[in-house]
């Protein structure tokens, strides 16, 4: 019996409460509608304002006059819409993030500690539009130290002659350090007999800390002149000395200040001798602050496979072609080199 009573009374109570609530809402809407509307609009607009102000602080001056992105335009258009306000705030936040990224990029370019690797000299080999393939190296000889040997071993290059040995320096050209089928020979001996059209030279790392520095330039010039004497038809690509990662190098003279000094001499040589061309490898190996890319090498000097492959790619897009050697090049080379060939006259 008791349960029956409850069942009868409960719906009546619920209905009464519901009616009261509806009444309250109607009264509120009628008399306080304006206040409620103001509360909502003020609340949402303040959210937008906060977002805007936070993004304003990150926004660089130069972006202020830029046309608004579609999302930013939507914020402006629907700024008074209660329903759209939270989304609009989000849009502003996103817009602020992109502005932040732009700012970061600007900071990087304006970073006073960043060192540009651009060299304005006719002796520097410019990037070509068309990359050549390995056949370009079929008449090339690569001469160098352990870094060049590492390039041979790890870059994936399939053609070319290599006269390399670990520890080779500009003063060691006459020493019998190059292994050959006939026993050990010097670089000069290796250049005798066979005629090459290109010489890629990578030396200098073992000359860092050369003493006295004044002697480095004349000694290196002697090497170049001797190469030219032995290979009069060959152009000589001189690779600049790749930066080192100083924290991994034990010898104090193996530092980037010396690298820059020696590269200055190498550039001078390329500007002096019209058959020499400067390959600015640090364009791709710099960390942006005049040092080797972090963790590009286990010992701070010898590049990992990935970077050796990058160097090969660099050589394939940085080359010159001379009218004299054009006759000797194969048909395949000629077809692959038809576009964007820099000639000696351009230098």
Partner 1 sequence: MKHVKLILCLAVLAFCLTACSKGNKDITVDVDKLADELQSQAVTSDTLTKTSLDLSSIYFVNDDQMEKGAAYLSNASTACEVAVIECKESSQAEGVEKLFKTRVSNQSNLFASYNAGEVAKLDKAIIKTAGKYAVLCVCDDTEKAEEILKNYGF
- Kindly state the smallest distance separating residue 194's Cβ from partner 1, in Å: 13
CA dist., res. 94 & res. 101, Å (int): 11
CA dist., res. 189 & res. 174, Å (int): 8
> Which part of the chain contacts partner 1 (CB under 8 A), choosing from 115-123, 156-164, 216-224, 267-275?
156-164
> Which part of the chain contacts partner 1 (CB under 8 A), choosing from 39-47, 144-152, 277-285, 319-327?
144-152
**Of 72 and 157, CB closest to partner 1:** 157
**Of 147 and 347, CB closest to partner 1:** 147
Residue by residue, DSSP assigns 9-48 as HHHHHHHHHHHHHHHHHHHHHHHHHHHHHHHHHHHHHHHH
Residue 139 interacts with partner 1 (CB under 8 A)?
no
- Kindly state the smallest distance separating residue 133's Cβ from partner 1, in Å: 14
Q: According to CB under 8 A, which residues from 241 to 300 bind partner 1?
A: 297-299
Which one among 244, 266, 276, 301 touches partner 1, defined by CB under 8 A? 301
Residue by residue, DSSP assigns 238-300 as EEPPPP--GGG--STT-SHHHHHHHHHHHHHHHHH-TTEEEE-THHHHB-SSSSBPTTSBSSS
What are the beta bridge partners of residue 276? 236
Residue 308 interacts with partner 1 (CB under 8 A)?
yes
Which one among 290, 304, 313, 336 touches partner 1, defined by CB under 8 A? 304
DSSP one-letter code for 319: -
Hey, what are 60's tokens? 């660089």
- Kindly state the smallest distance separating residue 186's Cβ from partner 1, in Å: 14
| Among 247, 339, 340, CA closest to 291 | 247
Which one among 75, 88, 124, 157 touches partner 1, defined by CB under 8 A? 157
CA dist., res. 178 & res. 143, Å (int): 10
Residue 184 interacts with partner 1 (CB under 8 A)?
yes
Q: Are 123 and 347 in contact (CB under 8 A)?
A: yes
Q: At what angle do helices 146-154 and 305-317 cross, to 10 degrees?
A: 90
**Of 112 and 193, CB closest to partner 1:** 193
Which one among 86, 122, 156, 232 touches partner 1, defined by CB under 8 A? 156
Q: According to CB under 8 A, which residues from 158 to 177 bind partner 1?
A: 158, 161-162, 165-167, 177
CA dist., res. 230 & res. 161, Å (int): 16
For residue 346, is the peptide bond before it cis, meaning its omega torsion is within 30 degrees of 0? no
- Kindly state the smallest distance separating residue 135's Cβ from partner 1, in Å: 14
- Kindly state the smallest distance separating residue 150's Cβ from partner 1, in Å: 4
CA dist., res. 307 & res. 120, Å (int): 25
- Kindly state the smallest distance separating residue 154's Cβ from partner 1, in Å: 4
Count, residues near partner 1 per rule CB under 8 A? 29
| Residues engaged in binding partner 1 (CB under 8 A) | 146-147, 149-150, 152-154, 156-158, 161-162, 165-167, 177, 179-181, 184, 297-299, 301-305, 308
């Amino acid at each position: 019996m008791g349960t029956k009573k409850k069942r009868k009374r409960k719906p009546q109570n619920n209905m009464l409460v519901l009616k009261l609530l509806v009444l309250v809402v109607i009264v509120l809407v009628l008399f306080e509608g304006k206040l409620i509307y103001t509360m909502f609009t003020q609340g949402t607009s303040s959210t937008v304002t906060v977002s805007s102000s936070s993004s304003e602080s990150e926004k660089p001056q130069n972006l202020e006059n830029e046309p608004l992105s579609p999302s930013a335009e939507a914020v402006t258009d629907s700024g008074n819409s209660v329903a759209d306000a939270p989304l609009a705030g989000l849009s502003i936040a996103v817009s602020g993030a992109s502005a932040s990224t732009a700012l970061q990029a600007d900071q990087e370019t304006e970073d006073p500690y960043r060192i540009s690797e651009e060299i304005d000299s006719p002796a520097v080999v410019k990037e070509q539009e068309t990359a050549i393939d390995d056949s370009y190296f079929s008449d090339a000889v690569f001469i160098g130290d352990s870094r060049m040997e590492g390039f041979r071993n790890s870059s994936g290059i399939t053609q070319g002659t290599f006269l390399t040995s670990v520890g080779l320096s500009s003063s060691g050209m006459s020493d019998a350090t190059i292994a050959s089928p006939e026993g050990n020979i010097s670089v000069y001996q290796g250049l005798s007999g066979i005629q090459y059209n290109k010489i890629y030279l990578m030396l200098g790392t073992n000359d860092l800390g050369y003493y006295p520095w004044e002697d480095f330039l004349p000694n290196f010039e002697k090497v170049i002149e001797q190469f030219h004497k032995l290979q009069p038809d060959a152009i000589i690509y001189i690779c600049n000395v790749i930066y080192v990662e100083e924290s991994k190098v034990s010898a104090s003279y193996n530092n980037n200040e010396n690298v820059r000094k020696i590269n200055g001499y190498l550039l001078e040589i390329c500007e002096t001798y019209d058959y020499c061309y400067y390959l600015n490898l640090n364009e791709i190996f710099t960390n942006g602050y005049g040092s080797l890319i972090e963790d590009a090498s286990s010992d701070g000097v010898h590049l990992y496979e990935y970077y050796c492959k990058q160097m090969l790619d660099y050589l394939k897009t940085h080359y010159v072609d001379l009218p004299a050697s054009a006759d000797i090049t194969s048909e395949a080379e000629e077809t692959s080199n038809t576009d964007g060939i820099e000639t000696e006259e351009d230098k």
